Every structure is written in structure tokens, then in C-alpha cells.
Amino acid sequence: MSSDRSLRSIVDSAEDPASDFPIQNLPFGVFTRDDRDARRIGVAIGDQVLDVRGAAESGYLGGLSDPAKNALLGTSLNEFAAMGAGTRNNLRRALQNFLGLDGPLRGPAQARKFLIPQREVKLHVPFDVGDYTDFYASVHHATNVGSMFRPDKPLMPNWKHLPVGYHGRASSIVISGSPVRRPMGQTSATDEGPPTFGACRLMDYELEVGVFLGSGNALGTRIEIEKARNAIFGVVLINDWSARDIQKWEYQPLGPFNAKNFATTISPWVVTMEALEPFMLPGPARMPEDPPLLEYLKSGDDVVLDITLEVWLASEEMRQRRMSPMLVSRGSFRDMYWTFAQMIAHHTSTGCNLRTGDLLGSGTVSGPTVDSRGCLLERTWRGQQPLAMPDGSERKFLLDGDEIIFRAYCEAPGARRIGFGECRGAILAAS
């Protein structure tokens, strides 16, 4: 039922074919109406937010267990997400009944009070995030970046044998719309130094997709790849901002540190795995020359998500002149080499314990063409091929006042288009 294209909502804006949030989507988030309000769980429907807590407390969401109703009273999604896919599906059915053409919204006016225009709410990071891990799962991105520094052998020997990743900084995850301060740090004009300390000059975005975990594993155990997809609650967009000049000096020998820890922006609406089912494709494909996978990374029913991803850029002057943002790139998540199931299986292969609310990022999503590259480092090829902007300026890397906007959507024959909303952030000057 939940992805049936014939389902319709009584919320008019959800019936717009261009809407990110039809009744087939119903992504979860956390919102407040004002600064005095406690955070509440909601879902997006068209241009509205449904107050899930209020609807549940008033008895409009039938079929839910008492523990599930209690979890919906929380100020984050953690407790509800930990209850698993069965509880999540029960709530999706109840929500679709409530928001459908024959639901309570056709009747008493009091049911309508639980719908709030999105423009009137403030959205928050939807989970209490304990840990954040970022991967490096695009072969196109890894090959492009590797060829800049190691043209004879772009990929490291381990890259096609395991999903490479690093532990990020959960405390600096911010919600879409939050400003991002240009970081200060050590940089050096040469590989040998000496460094100087100052504002980052090579500020970049990284277009990524992330998953929030609904369930985890006990320390010393593993999540087998066949069960890994069931551990995922849902999907968001991620901008893993990067200070390229700081990164170049600091990353040896232990990898990213201060060049990545100053901000990670996520989109506010978590699109569930159930909503994404019509857009799952078998994969990923392996080439004849690729090494065989070790058994713990193999799954007969692994999938890639067919998500179209876009990056838009607006300078401060463009916004002042009310000019539309410029499309920088458009690619697809189906081009990724490693899947989230493989990332989870590898992450826990040592017995590392993942937990509800942990965030896993895919790494930069890049495709095989120039206009599908997911960061400026690749798109401008280290600044050697700058982008011409509509306001007459050019971009090698990001300037103060620049705003980056990520958008994403899924389309497939026989399925209703769904989207992710926006993941946006503007650069503030260093302080």
C-alpha cells in the first residue's frame, strides 16, 4: 500500500506532480513552531508538516501499540526508530489513512489543526547523533581525486576490496539552512612546510547521501550483509564541507581531521526505506577486471538507490539581485561502487557497535561525466577549469557569501516521484 501510485492525499499541495512530498513519501523530521516550543516529531506532506505527536495523542493514528505512541512523544526520532521496520510500517499506514482522501481531514475541522505550513516551523537535526562515519564509496570520485595526485595509479591498492571510511565529528552536524563559518587552520604551499595559520582559501562542498540507523549491534558482534538494509531507518542528503588546503597539509598519515570537522550539513527530512523501495535497483555492477569480493561483502539481493542528485550555487550578489541559482552538477547515486549494506557489514566486521541514530555518509557522489562531479575540486579540476557564474564572476572554490543548495529526487516507471527537500548552507567569513 505505502508506495501505491494511485494513493492520493486530501492535502492539495501533495498532489502537485513536482512536489517532493506526496503521500507515497511521508519523510520524518523534528520541528518546533517557536523558541518556547518543545521539539516534536512530524512528517512532510506537500508544503505542510503533520504534527504526528498531536495526531497520535488525539487518537487519529489507529493501529499503533502503546510503546509506539509513547515513542512519538519524544523530541528526536531515536526511540521510535529503534522499534524497527514493523512499527514504522504500521505508522506509515496510519499516516496514509489519516492524510488520504477518505481520512479524518475530510471531516471535523479539529483534525486540520495538526497540519502546519512548513514555512511556519523550524526544523532540527532529527536524531540525537552519537557517531558519524563518512565513506569514500564513489569510484569516479576516488579515481578523479587520485589521478590529481597519483596519475599513474589513482586508486590505492585496498580501494576495490573494502569500503574506505573515516570517523567524523557528530557534534558539528547542523541542519539545512544553518550558516557555515569558513574555518581557520594550518596550510602550507609545499608538502614539506613550514605551515602558516589562517583562513581556509580552498573551501569546498561535497555532495553526499547519508543513512540514519534504526537499529545497531552489540559490541563484539557483526551485522551480516543480508540483514544490513534492515538496520537502516532512512536517507538524507549530506554536505560534508571540506577545507581542501587544510586537508592537503594535515591528512598524512592518519587521514581527515580539522579539514572536515567544522561543519556537516544535512537535509531535515529522513526519507524511509519503504518510500524508496520503487527506486531500488540490483547492484552494484562489477567489472571483469575488478577483484572478487570477500564473502562478508557479498549479498544476492543487494541494491543501489536510483536517486538523482543536483548541486546549485548562488553567490551573495546573485541573491541580492534575485538571480536564480546556477546548476553546477547533476548525477545519480546509482553510480556508486559500494552500497550502504556493504558499508554497514564492513563497519561492524570487527565487532564495532553501531547504534540507533548513527549517521553514515556515502562520500562524494560523482559520476562518469564532468557535469556529474560532486565537488568543486573535481568540477573545476583543482581550480584549473573555473566555473563562469551568471553574475560575471568565476569560481574555483567557494567564496564568502556563496550558498550551496543540494536537491534530490527519485523517478521510476509506475511510481510516484518523491524528493528529499533541500540541503543548503551559506559561507560566512572566518573569524
DSSP state of 197: E
271 beta partners = 235
C-beta of residue 328 within 8 angstroms of C-beta of residue 402: no
116: left (phi over 0), alpha (psi -120 to 50) or beta: beta
Cell 586537508 identifies what position?
Answer: 247
CA torsion angle 35 40 41 45 (round to 10): -60
Alpha-carbon span 99 to 119, nearest angstrom: 19
Which of 140, 141, 346, 347 is the catalytic position?
A: 141
Cell output for 110: 479539529
* Alpha helical stretches, state H, 133-193: 139-149
Cell output for 332: 545519480
Distances from the Cα of 138 to the Cαs of 189, 206, 285, 391, in angstroms?
28, 12, 13, 32
Cell 573555473 identifies what position?
Answer: 386
Distances from the Cα of 62 to the Cαs of 92, 97, 431, in angstroms?
11, 9, 52
What's at 120, amino acid-wise? Answer: E
266 beta partners = 175, 238
Q: Does residue 346 have an active-site annotation?
A: no
C-beta of residue 307 within 8 angstroms of C-beta of residue 332: yes
Cell output for 188: 602550507
User: Can you say how many angstroms the Cα of residue 334 is from the centroid of all Cα atoms in its chain?
Assistant: 15
Neighbours of 77 (CB within 10 A): 25
Phi first, then psi: give them for residue 169, nearest 5 degrees.
-115, 105
Cell output for 263: 561543519
CA torsion angle 287 288 294 298 (round to 10): 50
Alpha-carbon span 17 to 45, nearest angstrom: 13
C-beta of residue 339 within 8 angstroms of C-beta of residue 281: no
Alpha-carbon span 217 to 420, nearest angstrom: 28
Catalytic residue list: 141
